[in-house]
Amino acid sequence: MFRQTKAVLQKLRYLSFNGQQHTWKQKSTSARKRAVQYQPGQKIHGFTVKEVVAVPDLFLTAVKLTHDKTGAQYLHAARDDSNNLFSVQFRTTPMDSTGVPHILEHTVLCGSEKYPCRDPFFKMLNRSLSTFMNAFTASDYTMYPFSTQNGKDFQNLLSVYLDAVFFPCLREQDFWQEGWRLENEDPTDPNSPLVFKGVVFNEMKGAFSDNERVYAQHLQNKLYPDHTYSVVSGGEPLAIPDLTWEQLRQFHATHYHPSNARFFTYGDLPLEQHLKQIEEEALSKFERINPNTEVPSQPHWSSPREDHVTCSPDALAPDPARQNTLCVSYLLGDITDTFEGFTLSLLSSLMISGPNSAFYKALIEPKIGSDFSSVVGYDGSTKEASFSIGLQGMAEEDTEKVKQIISQTINHIIEDGFEEEQIEALLHKIEIQMKHQSTNFGLSLASYIASSWNHDGDPVELLRISDSVAKFRQALKENPRFLQDKVKHYFKENTHRLTLSMSPDEAYLEKQAKAEEEKLQKKIQALSDRDRKEIYEKGLELLAAQSKTQDASCLPALKISDIEPTIPITPVQISTAGGVPAQYCEQPTNGLVYFRAMCSLNTLPEDLVLYVPLFCSVITKMGCGALDYRQQAQQMDLRTGGMSVSPQVIPDSTHLDMYEQGVLLSSSCLERNLPHMFQLWSDIFNSPHFEEVERLRVLVMMSAQELANGISYSGHMYAMTRAGRYLTPAGHLQESFGGMEQVKFMKRIAEMSDLSQVIRTLPRIKRHLLNSDNMRCAINATPQKMSDTAAQLESFMKQITGNRKERKPVRVNIVERPIDPLDDSGPSRKLVSELNFQPCQMKTFFQLPFPVNFVSESIRTVPFSHEDYASLCILARMMTAKFLHGEIREKGGAYGGGARMGGGLFSFYSYRDPNSMQTLSAFRKGIDWAKSGQFTQQDIDEAKLSVFSAVDSPVAPADKGMGRFLSGVTDEMKQSHRERLFAVSHKNLVEVAERYLSVGQKTCGVAILGPENETIAKDPSWIVK
Ligand SMILES: [Zn+2]
């Protein structure tokens, strides 16, 4: 994987909002209290303690150590969180664009001394209960993190990770597979043409099919032209074939050394055990070296620069005539200066975030472009930070105007400064982010400190966020022009700035293809007959190695008996508030209150369905009551942790042709602000401002742009959604709400010159919401705050639902389900039932300007409560690990591929795939493989572990009880599903493969997103879009 890290504040956001699932155990012996007892100077297993710091805001104790013999650095964050994390990062500073750090990141995971089997990393996914496993290549470091809630699993994974990074095999064959190789298109046919293959080669071709990514890469390369940031650490597709296996091994020897390593551990497991294992299994075998990987400061330019690049035209862009990007990027100070970095990232938010910021007013609202440029704001991922500001989706002739606006806006900021309330809103946001508990807190911390620590900044100082907040307040008090002076210094007077524009070139893809062809021909011409023969033989060898049944017995593994047999029960209380069903869930939320409401839309006329996502994205952003949209945004920032509305399609757990449709309101706030938050919600629904066309246009443009940009990143999701469209009524609605149909619809709206018809639909949708008849709500809060919250909820509900008439559903087929399954007479959920729904077979192809495909096939199977559901879940996982991964990724060269079960559909998918038809036949072969029963009990157990690690992944206090609230799946139902998962046998798997997946058994749908495709064009059974 390859990524570019974003600004500090954006990273800080990941400390909170990636809430999925988590268990927060309140333990009697507190990990952080134990850790406070370490003493500086204390020696532990070859390490010396350097510093011990309590960080009460984040509820942790930080222990900093150094390894005596090698100089390896170590940071432990002791926190009473069972989702323990390990990560090791190396400073990797390439000086060319061959992608050497990225290819190395992949190849070290292909087998090591102690674990010489192929691909131990992917195999461990099935032998562990990990909650996260991955590896990242950033611009100047490579990081290997994992997390798990199980102590034994932690030791197993640590052993595999340590051996992988310090003692990898780095076989030539791994390099071919993961990096690049020349190979016959059909490896079994020596006469088929030679082509480039390789996982990273294809991954980077895919990555560079994303224009936002292309722009970000150019911008960094050109702003820091003198050292490692001037090259592409992930690999420039055409430079990748210049890398040799020898260079790869050399890079490993010099960079993956303890003297160039930083270790980070997090959670409630004891530190000593980690240190002992790391010392014994890795560090004791090394001597200190001088890795010489420091990044020098970028010499400052004496005058600003301008540059221009091209990209491929975007077929989905809202306005084809407006596809230019322009942005100005400024070189800032060293990121190891923690307070300066903190100040600049706050400053950046004040300048660009939300409708009250100067740049939003100056650049977004005049609608010169569709949105800010993909790179915007503070970026602290390089040794010296940068700040960028500009637009995408603009016309070429507006270039000068945009440049002028940027410099004028900077002048205005220097003159006028910022409103105090705006600064307070931002500091309030930081307070909330520190209190909100996420499930991947360890990972967020690791990524939050990675860049600064990589350049020898102090990671502990970085964690003491409230110290920085206090210092910031003090600085403002001492000098009211503190921020304005910074703007003057870093922006107005800064000559190290780059203005980079990007415009589409019709021939872009063609030129790229031509360049690749030339590169290929050059390589081919240099080959002797002997070389060609060797290539053919190596291709066969690789194929044979990939096809061989693999022995993974050298790897450690958890056993099925290590899995908890029962799930912990989440107690919820169900009653009513103001006549509306309410679910209360007491949780340790650190003084935050989470309020959600589900409003079903069963009465919504058909012609409004496509407008629902748009309605959701604008309803909290147009102003309400006495507040215009700017004031509303300010109030939300000042008083809440965010308020949002999202469309929902919830398939029924018992019947494939039943579902619930609606919208979900989600919000959180500090306890003291609850009345303010309810007031905002009630204003939003009682008196929303829908009339401002210009405001709506800005929001529409931004959503359309975001959707269009998202396809190259989530193409497999779009392909799967489309493949499921004609299979169930819920699948049909899903496509309308979040599939390609919605993308195209938004593009059409963005192109309309007159939005008045759109505006008229918004109040029509609103009228169907907030009827006490089709609404339910949920509160998660601390036990102490619950009764007060319930009382406030009661009066809020009375206020908003008081004078509403009941509406007749336009769909007559509404079925009621009790919210509490044990209480039939209590409140109910209302589902749409389409028992006459006829699933049908459909193959759809979307031709898009990408060099890679996203392929999906979906099969209608059974709902959650059906006895075969568990077998299908295990089967999907097992097919992915034991068959599809090999066919689609290893042999096919796609970035990823597999199968999954959800919403009653069994879906195959591939991600960034050079193939299309071949992948469809790999799906079919996977089914034959499953039916043949050629898998072992070990394979089944591994699939079970993998499924359980997802089922048991942690749930944050904010999200406890939400599954039950939304889909009515109770803990008892989950427990019986769990028991069925445990019980799945070899026989069950073969049976479900035959019963559901065999050709002709059940209806299936196929969808492909990808470049022009001759086979499909000739085949009339495809619908081409
Ligand atoms: Zn990668």
- Cα(531) to ligand 1 centroid in Å equals 28
Compute the distance between CA of residue 395 and CA of residue 590 in angstroms, rounded to an integer: 48
Give the distance, in angstroms, between the CA of residue 644 and the centroid of all CA atoms in the same chain. 19
- Residue-wise burial string across 869-908, b where 16 or more C-beta atoms lie within 10 A, e elsewhere: bbbbbbbbbbbbbbbbbbbbbbbbbbbbbbbbbebbbbbb
Q: Is the pLDDT of residue 842 over 50?
A: yes
- Cα(105) to ligand 1 centroid in Å equals 7
Compute the distance between CA of residue 796 and CA of residue 794 in angstroms, rounded to an integer: 5
Closest alpha carbon to 83 in 160, 149, 28: 149
- Cα(21) to ligand 1 centroid in Å equals 26
Give the distance, in angstroms, between the CA of residue 773 and the centroid of all CA atoms in the same chain. 36
Number of H helices, E strands in the chain: 35, 31
Model confidence pTM above 0.75: yes
- Cα(308) to ligand 1 centroid in Å equals 28
Least confident of 288-302, 327-341, 424-438, 900-914: 424-438
Compute the distance between CA of residue 646 and CA of residue 612 in angstroms, rounded to an integer: 9
Q: Is the pLDDT of residue 64 over 80?
A: yes
Least confident of 361-375, 530-544, 545-559, 794-808: 794-808
Compute the distance between CA of residue 807 and CA of residue 812 in angstroms, rounded to an integer: 12
Answer for the pair 686, 625: CB distance below 8 angstroms, yes or no.
yes
Q: Can you list the alpha helix ranges (DSSP code H) found in 526-646?
A: 529-547, 612-619, 629-639
Q: Is the pLDDT of residue 58 over 60?
A: yes
Answer for the pair 97, 235: CB distance below 8 angstroms, yes or no.
yes
Q: What is the pLDDT of residues 562-584, one digit of tens each?
A: 999 999 899 999 998 988 899 99
Q: What is the average per-residue pLDDT within 408-418? A: 96
Q: In the block, which residue shows the tokens 């993974």? A: 552
Answer for the pair 436, 244: CB distance below 8 angstroms, yes or no.
no
**Residue 927 corresponds to which tokens in the numbers above?**
């089914």
Compute the distance between CA of residue 639 and CA of residue 645 in angstroms, rounded to an integer: 17
Categorise residue 579: left if φ over 0, alpha if ψ from -120 to 50, beta otherwise: left
List beta partners, residue 330: 387, 497
Closest alpha carbon to 819 in 863, 780, 777: 777
C-alpha dihedral (882, 885, 887, 891), degrees to nearest 10? -130
pLDDT at 230: 96
- Cα(895) to ligand 1 centroid in Å equals 8
Answer for the pair 862, 869: CB distance below 8 angstroms, yes or no.
yes
- Cα(1025) to ligand 1 centroid in Å equals 31
Compute the distance between CA of residue 76 and CA of residue 251 in angstroms, rounded to an integer: 28
Q: Is the pLDDT of residue 1 over 70?
A: no
Residue type, 210: D
List beta partners, residue 776: 598
- Cα(914) to ligand 1 centroid in Å equals 15
Q: What is the pLDDT of residues 711-738, one digit of tens each?
A: 888 999 999 999 999 999 999 999 999 9
Answer for the pair 141, 90: CB distance below 8 angstroms, yes or no.
yes
Compute the distance between CA of residue 145 and CA of residue 151 in angstroms, rounded to an integer: 16
**Residue 15 corresponds to which tokens in the numbers above?**
């400390």
Q: Is the pLDDT of residue 23 over 90?
A: no
pLDDT at 13: 32
Compute the distance between CA of residue 779 and CA of residue 586 in angstroms, rounded to an integer: 8
SS3 labels along 973-991:
HHHHHHHHHHHCCHHHHHH
- Compute and round to an integer the Cα radius of gyration of the chain: 28
Compute the distance between CA of residue 895 and CA of residue 904 in angstroms, rounded to an integer: 26
**Residue 450 corresponds to which tokens in the numbers above?**
């990675």
- Cα(228) to ligand 1 centroid in Å equals 19
Q: Is the pLDDT of residue 11 over 70?
A: no
pLDDT at 806: 56
Q: What is the average per-residue pLDDT within 501-513? A: 93
3-class DSSP assignment, residue 663: strand
Answer for the pair 990, 930: CB distance below 8 angstroms, yes or no.
yes
- Cα(65) to ligand 1 centroid in Å equals 31
Share of the chain above pLDDT 90, in %: 77
C-alpha dihedral (196, 197, 202, 208), degrees to nearest 10? -10
List beta partners, residue 817: 829
Compute the distance between CA of residue 667 and CA of residue 662 in angstroms, rounded to an integer: 17
Answer for the pair 311, 505: CB distance below 8 angstroms, yes or no.
yes
Neighbours of 344 (CB within 10 A): 26
- Cα(100) to ligand 1 centroid in Å equals 11
- Cα(1) to ligand 1 centroid in Å equals 3
Q: What is the pLDDT of residues 777-826, one digit of tens each?
A: 999 999 999 999 999 999 898 887 665 555 555 556 888 888 887 778 78
**Residue 756 corresponds to which tokens in the numbers above?**
């008045």
- Cα(204) to ligand 1 centroid in Å equals 8
- Cα(200) to ligand 1 centroid in Å equals 6
**Residue 786 corresponds to which tokens in the numbers above?**
């619950």
- Cα(203) to ligand 1 centroid in Å equals 6
Neighbours of 1020 (CB within 10 A): 8
pLDDT at 449: 95
Q: Where are the beta strands (DSSP E) in 185-222?
A: 194-197
pLDDT at 6: 34
Q: Is the pLDDT of residue 317 over 90?
A: no
Q: What is the pLDDT of residues 125-160, one digit of tens each?
A: 889 999 999 999 999 999 999 999 999 999 999 999
Share the mean pLDDT of the chain.
91
pLDDT class for 12, splitting at 50, 70, 90? very low
Burial class (CB in 10 A: 0-12, 13-18, 19+), 156: buried
Q: How far is CA 497 from CA 330, 405, 417, in A?
A: 4, 16, 22
**Residue 99 corresponds to which tokens in the numbers above?**
């992608």
CA atoms within 13 A on the CB side of 872: 26
Q: Collect all residues with Cβ–Cβ distance below 8 Å to 574 and sequence separation of at least 6.
A: 581, 582, 583, 584, 819, 820, 823, 826, 827
Helix (H) or strand (E) holding 75: strand 73-78
Phi and psi, residue 175, nearest 5°: -60, -45
**Residue 108 corresponds to which tokens in the numbers above?**
């070290």
Closest alpha carbon to 875 in 962, 959, 831, 940: 940
Residue type, 171: R
Compute the distance between CA of residue 915 and CA of residue 923 in angstroms, rounded to an integer: 12
- Cα(526) to ligand 1 centroid in Å equals 29
pLDDT at 630: 93
Give catalytic residues, as residue numbers.
105
Helix (H) or strand (E) holding 525: helix 508-525
List beta partners, residue 586: 781
CA atoms within 13 A on the CB side of 473: 9
C-alpha dihedral (570, 571, 574, 577), degrees to nearest 10? -90
Query: Which DSSP string do the residues of 934-951 spell out, in sequence order?
Result: ---HHHHHHHHHHHHHHH
pLDDT at 890: 84
DSSP class of 79: -
Q: What is the pLDDT of residues 634-649, one digit of tens each?
A: 999 999 999 999 999 9
DSSP class of 606: G
Q: Is the pLDDT of residue 935 over 70?
A: yes
Q: In the block, which residue shows the tokens 């609850």? A: 674
Q: What is the pLDDT of residues 749-758, one digit of tens each?
A: 998 999 999 9
Closest alpha carbon to 258 in 143, 88, 451: 88
Q: How far is CA 63 from CA 38, 78, 396, 568, 744, in A?
A: 8, 8, 53, 32, 52
List beta partners, residue 463: none
pLDDT at 811: 57
Q: Is the pLDDT of residue 479 over 90?
A: yes
Compute the distance between CA of residue 192 and CA of residue 197 in angstroms, rounded to an integer: 14
Q: Collect all residues with Cβ–Cβ distance below 8 Å to 154 and sequence separation of at least 6.
A: 84, 86, 148, 269
- Residue-wise burial string across 319-330, b where 16 or more C-beta atoms lie within 10 A, e elsewhere: beebbbbbbbbb
Answer for the pair 1025, 847: CB distance below 8 angstroms, yes or no.
yes
Neighbours of 32 (CB within 10 A): 20
pLDDT at 19: 30
Q: What is the average per-residue pLDDT within 606-622? A: 94
pLDDT class for 28, splitting at 50, 70, 90? very low
pLDDT class for 176, splitting at 50, 70, 90? very high
Compute the distance between CA of residue 1019 and CA of residue 1021 in angstroms, rounded to an integer: 6
